[in-house]
Chain A
């Protein structure tokens, strides 16, 4: 095969065996790669009703046809499994270096099944594949584990691993790669922990072969030049990372503040990008061969929050910052470092602590129950909770279950701002209506990465949409869901893709993306055809979700019944009911949100 290797590495952890197999060319073509291939295999091999932390669940690492290619940002991989947090589908995305190294082993997918009796790690050096003991690494944090894994295998290799949070089956545990990059969401790290799989190390020189080498190189260079010119002209992403965003969302009144009790934060000026750049930035840190470099290598040089690492990005600032009412950027950065070292998703971790803060302030939780006071704006209590969550110590054991389960246990599930039990990212859907529809219908629970219509409602990319209007949002959400599915299947990064390989209009037509896929794989993909494939993938994911029993597309009561009290969206709630029926029609689903037989047939999923 071109573009793809067409090979899957299957790792049976129970029996400690590995095997290689070829992928069916029709599946390869129809499901594109990455997220698409992974859901096809998950659907074929895993009962949607499986307990996520049982050995019968499978964990899939998936690269796409553009991973490890010359296409700028072609360096992403997906982790796909059944989520212990949502009880539905997990597909978490990460960059860094590891995805390219993984693809260079000569395999597109790693499928982990069963459960090792004792902790192990996987070492893949092209066709030399070993399952090795990781008993000496169990309990170690992410940086120590990563250093040890590379020292024991090949210092030129790259590693993904879990920290203590994944080992302790914390429901928002991440899989970290290259120390500071995260396949963060939906508790994929807990699934890895449940399999006693501490880490995965990859090395190889098997670069994918392009069907049309010259055309691929020319288009890649053209895109890279365009990005480069924009970066030279001045780019917020390069200069401040996504940390520039709090000012934007605060202006629009959709910056989650004190567990979504408000949409503007009085401390925004002290937690924004320019502050980060001025006080703590060492330098931008790109993923492998990325021309954007939104990553932040930072250091808090002194004081109680001293440390060095990567981050924070916007989502981390909106969860640990405004979400917890904390206006101290050094403390937010320190919380981020802890999450990276212990292997936690910063969104769910921060937002879960925010729920506990609200419950404490309202008297629903006592100091005795928590073991300490836990007020909004208290950075030390917040950071303490992060560590306790990773180790399930004291009250951290309650929070480790995620905000919905924990708030429900203490009698106030209405305070958990989640869909499918997954915490919202940093855009309040009362002031960005399309985001509400996206969260409610997302295949993986609340997530911006499922089809980020904030690109139009908030950021004006490729065109601006009024965030307060519900008009046309059903169609917009569908377009973005398909576009993001396609990007996740391809192996590109969404930051580059929407702007540079789709048409710059409301159609977001994947003109260049389909060309890149064609030049790589040799299959004469058209924009229409790759979007149809994305629709197929999205619909198959939806079927997995529904068969897992996750059938309700809704938003938490705060979003539907409690108007925002401040800012430009003051007085508004999310008008989900105005959008949902039209959205189901757009997707070809019936009035209950089930794909119709006709639709399944059209996509070849009957």
Chain B
């Protein structure tokens, strides 16, 4: 199934080389969890990251479904 991965600001460099913008579409097997995608793209899964699915706060063990959008960025004081 296809999902979208968006990595914001400094995390953009974790996307594949040559990616335009901050978002890619990827194919993942059924049953894929948020944490699996984060592991695949080397996104830290501790308090140093904020990770949301479709803009919502969910556990990293959440199983993704078709068309989900996973977004991650580095936790940092704001604007």
Contacts and interface: CB of A to CB of B under 8 A. Distances in A.
Nearest to B77: A495
A568 B56 contact: yes
Interface string B1-23: 00000101110110000000110
B45 interface: no
A236 B56 contact: no
Given A247-B22, A251-B52, A251-B71, A461 B76 contact: yes
Contact of A567 (B9, B55, B77): B55
A539 to B, nearest CB: 26
A267 B13 CA distance: 22
Contact of A251 (B47, B55, B76): B55
A368 to B, nearest CB: 38
Residue with the greatest number of chain B CB neighbours at <10 A, chosen from A237, A315, A462, A498: A237
Interface string B63-79: 00000000101111111
A10 interface: no
Nearest to B6: A251
Interface residues of A, number: 45
Residue with the greatest number of chain A CB neighbours at <10 A, chosen from B8, B9, B50, B56: B9
Contact of B52 (A236, A242, A252, A274): A252
A467 interface: yes
Interface string A548-585: 00000000000000000001110000000000000000
B56 A468 contact: yes
Interface in A64-82: none
A235 B75 CA distance: 10
B57 to A, nearest CB: 4
B9 A239 contact: yes
B62 interface: no
Contacts of A235: 10, 74, 76
A460 B50 CA distance: 6
B42 interface: no
Interface string A190-232: 0000000000000000000000000000000000000000000
A458 B78 contact: yes
Nearest to B23: A269
B32 interface: no
A128 to B, nearest CB: 39
Given A315-B79, A498-B77, A459 B50 contact: yes
A236 B10 contact: yes
A541 interface: no
Contacts of B6: 247, 251
Contacts of B77: 237, 455, 459, 461, 494-496, 498-499
B75 A464 contact: yes
A452 interface: yes
B52 to A, nearest CB: 7
Residue with the greatest number of chain B CB neighbours at <10 A, chosen from A243, A245, A314, A569: A245
A589 interface: no
Contacts of A568: 52, 54-56
Interface of A: 234-237, 239-240, 242-245, 247-248, 251-253, 269, 273-274, 313-315, 426, 448, 452, 454-455, 458-464, 466-468, 494-496, 498-499, 504, 567-569
8 contacts: A244-B73, A244-B79, A247-B22, A247-B73, A248-B8, A455-B77, A462-B47, A468-B57
Interface of B: 6, 8-10, 12-13, 21-22, 47, 49-50, 52, 54-57, 71, 73-79
Top 10 A-B residue pairs of the complex, sorted by shortest distance between their CB atoms: A568-B55, A314-B79, A242-B79, A460-B75, A460-B50, A245-B79, A244-B9, A236-B9, A459-B78, A234-B10
